[in-house]
């Protein structure tokens, strides 16, 4: 027999955005029911951003120690994965236990329900025979799961995704990575730094293909210098697995390794959540929200399922918009002109706004300029890139990319300029502290107005 409970808001899915919305709304005194069958907090704190960046912090330390002989003398470095695995288990994930996150929800006044929820009627979500009727509506943040490409022989093999690799306590001798996007590249470089023989295979014609071509060139060179084999434009025919490990069979070669990491995309968790009961397509791959994050009457969506960028910061930004709308506040509403992102490889790739290709596709009359990392890059013996894209008619930036050890930080100035539509004439006459990495923006900005 189904029981029924009334509340103000149901939050279905508790990734970063859903958890954030539930906490804020409960904190405002609303009766919030927060539902998830998985760990509260979603992919980021347990299988994504947090553990992977701990890995990267450790790898960066090793990388810098190995530069001692180049810049400052001599150092002998012995990698040890043990401290990394322990820190991920103990400090990042609490051994993959979400009690702290659940308690945070309860302390804010929300009701937490562990289970698989589905919309069963407008403003209603049912979990294990209990229906929660939301007076104001439903917030969807159902997130994604790793997606494996339909490669012959792959299914049923013990390949890793990001979910398995963050639990690793013993490193393989060699690993093939299928997927040259941000996740694949970050993890490939981490494990290479710790001594694993790495090959990155991607069907695209270059790694980090969503970024500027010049960024791909810089990162490919860095990978090569580190001994990472990059096979781009690959035609993967099948995967074989046996006692000796994995063999990835390409059209022109075979790659054998002890382990296989698949980092070739993710799938939105929209199937079976009852979208048809609120007038939405149950087969939808993404939900298209309006500026208030509404996807149907009494339904809001945040996070990866909106297709606005698979980033924690976007999900939480969207959650803030939802909270304002639920509370009847007057904006500001969603604006994606200056969505920044960073790939935490060495060097980092920081990007924001439109790429050159995307701007041209939109028909914008653009000017493009590029440069290196300037004096700081020379002092640190560091190669990198600054690329800026400007709207010629309006005299403002619309996109940018910075590749360097602080690329993800330097790009923040470009993001501010795009968001605030600061005139190029103003940017070029700013004071840029010498000899900082961000000073490398100045000559590129001036090239855009010369």
Dump pLDDT digits (tens) for 272-291. Answer: 999 999 999 999 999 999 99
- Give the residue-averaged pLDDT of 194-216: 97
Cβ contact 81:169 at 8 Å? yes
Q: What is the pLDDT of residues 73-109, one digit of tens each?
A: 998 999 999 999 999 999 999 999 999 999 999 999 9
pLDDT surpassing 80 at residue 159: yes
CA-angle at 44, arms to 351 and 282, nearest 5° = 90
Dihedral sign, Cα of residue 249, residue 250, residue 255, residue 257: negative
Q: What percent of the chain has pLDDT over 90?
A: 96
pLDDT surpassing 80 at residue 2: no
Residue with tokens 């619309």: 398
d(CA 173, CA 297): 53
pTM: 0.94
pLDDT surpassing 70 at residue 1: no
Q: What is the pLDDT of residues 113-158, one digit of tens each?
A: 999 999 999 999 999 999 999 999 999 999 999 888 999 999 999 9
Return mean pLDDT, the chain. Answer: 96
Confidence of residue 298 (pLDDT cuts 50, 70, 90): very high
Count CA atoms closer than 13 A to 101's CA, side-chain side: 26
Pairing label, strands 111-114, 117-121: unpaired
Q: What is the pLDDT of residues 24-44, one digit of tens each?
A: 999 999 999 999 999 999 999
Cβ contact 92:167 at 8 Å? no
Q: What is the pLDDT of residues 212-254, one digit of tens each?
A: 999 999 999 999 999 999 999 999 999 999 998 999 999 999 9
Of the listed ranges 197-201, 342-346, 353-357, 379-383, the least confidently predicted one is: 379-383
């Amino acid at each position: 027999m189904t029981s029924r409970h009334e509340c103000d808001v149901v939050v279905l899915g508790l990734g970063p955005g859903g958890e954030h919305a539930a906490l804020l709304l409960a904190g405002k005194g609303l009766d919030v029911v927060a539902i998830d069958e998985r760990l509260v907090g979603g992919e980021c704190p347990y299988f994504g951003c947090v553990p992977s960046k701990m890995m990267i912090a450790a790898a960066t330390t090793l990388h810098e120690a190995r530069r001692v002989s180049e810049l400052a003398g001599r150092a002998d470095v012995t990698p040890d994965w043990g401290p990394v695995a322990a820190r991920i288990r103990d400090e990042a994930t609490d051994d993959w236990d979400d009690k702290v996150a659940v308690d945070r929800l309860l302390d804010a006044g929300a009701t937490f329900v562990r289970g698989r929820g589905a919309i069963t009627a407008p403003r209603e979500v049912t979990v294990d025979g209990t229906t929660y009727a939301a007076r104001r509506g439903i917030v969807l943040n159902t997130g994604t799961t790793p997606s494996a490409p339909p490669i012959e022989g792959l299914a049923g093999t013990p390949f890793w995704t990001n979910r398995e690799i963050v639990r690793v306590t013993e490193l393989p001798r060699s690993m093939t990575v299928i997927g040259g996007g941000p996740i694949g590249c970050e993890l490939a470089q981490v494990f290479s730094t710790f001594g694993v023989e790495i090959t990155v295979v991607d069907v695209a014609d270059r790694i980090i293909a969503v970024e500027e071509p010049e960024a791909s060139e810089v990162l490919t060179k860095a990978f090569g210098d580190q001994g990472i084999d990059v096979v781009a434009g690959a035609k993967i025919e099948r995967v074989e697995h046996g006692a000796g490990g994995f063999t990835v069979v390409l059209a022109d070669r075979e790659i054998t390794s002890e382990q296989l990491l698949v980092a070739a995309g993710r799938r939105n968790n929209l199937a079976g959540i009852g979208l048809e009961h609120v007038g939405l397509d149950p087969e939808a791959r993404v939900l298209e929200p309006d500026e208030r994050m509404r996807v149907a009457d009494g339904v809001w969506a945040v996070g990866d399922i909106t297709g606005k960028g698979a980033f924690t910061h976007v999900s939480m930004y969207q959650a803030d918009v939802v909270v304002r709308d639920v509370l009847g506040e007057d904006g500001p509403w969603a604006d994606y002109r200056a969505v920044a992102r960073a790939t935490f490889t060495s060097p980092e790739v920081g990007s924001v706004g439109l790429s050159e290709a995307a701007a041209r596709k939109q028909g914008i009359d653009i000017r493009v300029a590029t440069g290196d990392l300037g004096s700081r890059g020379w002092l640190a013996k560091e190669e990198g890139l600054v690329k800026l894209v400007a709207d010629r008619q309006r005299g403002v930036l619309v996109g940018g990319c910075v590749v360097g050890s602080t690329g993800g930080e330097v790009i923040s100035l470009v993001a501010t300029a795009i968001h605030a539509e600061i005139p190029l004439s103003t940017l070029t006459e700013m004071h840029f502290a010498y000899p900082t990495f961000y000073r490398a923006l100045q000559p590129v900005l001036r090239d855009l107005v010369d």
